A and B are shown apart, each in its own frame.
Chain A
């Protein structure tokens, strides 16, 4: 314990400059080293694949498990800029590890209630008319147990949401090629992971806006994100966007798979459970300043964060810096896109006293973020998914920032 802490401090000493607060202070207080000849410190001319600066250490984190089975990792939201999550930092949630798939051998089979069953190679899918869209993906287990546990940072509380530009073929186009029959009403989508993860999807959503994606942020999907092929179902809980997609069966009813009965159903106080709770509720979180951070002293800060909704675009984000007594509109950074992260900003002067900062959003359907209490009142405490309560961060006089909900 001691030695690992010492090691952490040593490693940390190199990285301290990365903590947002310290960087902000650096220019103002300590005189930096004099100008150097940049040629003397160059890493080289060119490279086949760029790497980030060695001074950058932003990384995904996960909780260790006594069984060694770690099934999720979280995006470092506190370091995020803009609305796009770097592909390498997109959160992960897998039920059976990350399969290694050779795209030349991968196939997508479409069958069931169709006139023409079809099997596609990835290369054939890439020949079809493509579209690119910026969408968030959020695990419906994100930010659960707001008052339990030891979640201190935005990464720990909200790190299972990420946002990418996804490129692929509309699923509706593939279904039209196959010719969907009249009795059809649902699809069963299956992944090529070891658990052959399966979910039922209403045909109406497929005909609306589901993507069969092979691209992420200008490149191929990352293996953790379903390489070479995945579903991207805008606004819906992450689990249903089947990764490593290999099969779509057109059927006439939901198939009641394990992931839509045992899991991803929401238990109510009376013992009944909600099923097929697809849409992600409107949600926002301040990413700076946020838990675990540090403000070096009173003065100007731009409060910033992310807002998103599975029911469309974000219309409005309000920020409070006095524990919820007063709320003011934050500025929404363009582009404000449907089913995408929206960046918000709020200029603030910290007077050095204790402060609680929080944000709340309203989406295009008028949906808004509840408090933890409002949510528990209707859903009880056995509800494991779809937590979209208002997150509050407390700033102490010494500048340290803590999760105000725990």
Chain B
């Protein structure tokens, strides 16, 4: 270790010790206002605790989808040119897996979060909560996961059981083995 690195480390260790006492060591940065936090605090976890008020159904979503999404994802969500959003259930263990929100995504809350933050690509962040609920309901309905008249809101959306909910496993790597007898 070079001297300069050592000094940085020493200061760092001192800072860590200070931090354990849970007090700021440098005093830089300021306290954000509640309003500042609220404006950016849009992440929705898998339990949906953060979902805002509002509601929507697939019927309402169909109209919004046709106007704001179909040009990129196809009239029925299967034609593209961009990501296919409908279908693919039962294909994940075949040679041609089709991954969509219906066949692959483990949580319905992720659909809400992603549409809300990133879609439509030409104007992200422009949808009101009611519209995001309606679009989410529409995609769930087209994937045969809910009924056309089911109302999606902060209470019902997290309860939607996604077909691939148990489809994910932890990372076991390194997962390959040297050939029997070792390598040459």
Tell which of A95, A274, A370 touches B171, judged by Cβ atoms closer than 8 Å. Answer: A274
Which of A121-129, A216-224, A286-294 forms contacts with chain B?
A121-129
Chain A residues with Cβ below 8 Å from B31 are 116-119
Which chain B residues (115-153) contact chain A, with CB distance < 8 Å?
A: 117-118, 121, 124-125
Chain A residues with Cβ below 8 Å from B40 are 109, 190, 246-247
User: How distant is the Cα of A254 from the Cα of B19 in the complex, in angstroms?
Assistant: 25
B176 touches A195 (CB 8 A): no
Chain A residues with Cβ below 8 Å from B167 are 271-273
User: How distant is the Cα of A60 from the Cα of B103 in the complex, in angstroms?
Assistant: 36
A109 touches B124 (CB 8 A): no
B29 touches A119 (CB 8 A): yes
Tell which of A251, A258, A274, A370 touches B176, judged by Cβ atoms closer than 8 Å. Answer: A370
Tell which of B8, B41, B170 touches A111, judged by Cβ atoms closer than 8 Å. Answer: B41
A190 touches B110 (CB 8 A): no
Chain A residues with Cβ below 8 Å from B37 are 109, 111, 117
* Contact code string B1-25 (vs A, CB < 8 Å = 1, else 0): 0000000100110011011001111
Q: Could you list some 16 contacts between A and B, CB below 8 A? A: A111-B37, A127-B26, A172-B16, A176-B15, A188-B43, A195-B117, A198-B43, A198-B113, A247-B40, A251-B43, A253-B46, A257-B110, A261-B110, A262-B114, A275-B168, A279-B171
* Contact code string A371-402 (vs B, CB < 8 Å = 1, else 0): 00011011101100010000000000000000
Closest 8 CB pairs of A and B: A271-B93, A176-B19, A271-B92, A118-B29, A195-B118, A258-B114, A275-B168, A119-B32
B179 at the interface (CB under 8 A from A): yes
Q: Chain B's nearest CB lies how many Å from the CB of A28?
A: 36
A367 at the interface (CB under 8 A from B): yes
A274 touches B169 (CB 8 A): yes
A257 touches B173 (CB 8 A): no
Q: Chain B's nearest CB lies how many Å from the CB of A319?
A: 14
- A116-B24, A195-B118, A271-B92 known; A255 and B46 CB under 8 Å? yes
Chain B residues with Cβ below 8 Å from A124 are 28-29
B32 touches A66 (CB 8 A): no
Tell which of B8, B23, B171, B174 touches A278, judged by Cβ atoms closer than 8 Å. Answer: B171
B97 at the interface (CB under 8 A from A): yes
Tell which of B11, B32, B124, B168 touches A265, judged by Cβ atoms closer than 8 Å. Answer: B168
Q: Chain B's nearest CB lies how many Å from the CB of A263?
A: 9
B22 touches A128 (CB 8 A): no
User: How distant is the Cα of A281 from the Cα of B95 in the complex, in angstroms?
Assistant: 25
A244 at the interface (CB under 8 A from B): no
A367 touches B174 (CB 8 A): yes
B26 touches A96 (CB 8 A): no
User: How distant is the Cα of A349 from the Cα of B167 in the complex, in angstroms?
Assistant: 52
B93 touches A270 (CB 8 A): yes
A179 at the interface (CB under 8 A from B): yes
Chain B residues with Cβ below 8 Å from A198 are 43, 113, 117
A301 at the interface (CB under 8 A from B): no
Tell which of B101, B175, B183 touches A378, judged by Cβ atoms closer than 8 Å. Answer: B175
A368 touches B106 (CB 8 A): no
Q: Chain B's nearest CB lies how many Å from the CB of A195?
A: 4
- A256-B46, A257-B113 known; A276 and B171 CB under 8 Å? yes
Chain A residues with Cβ below 8 Å from B175 are 378-379
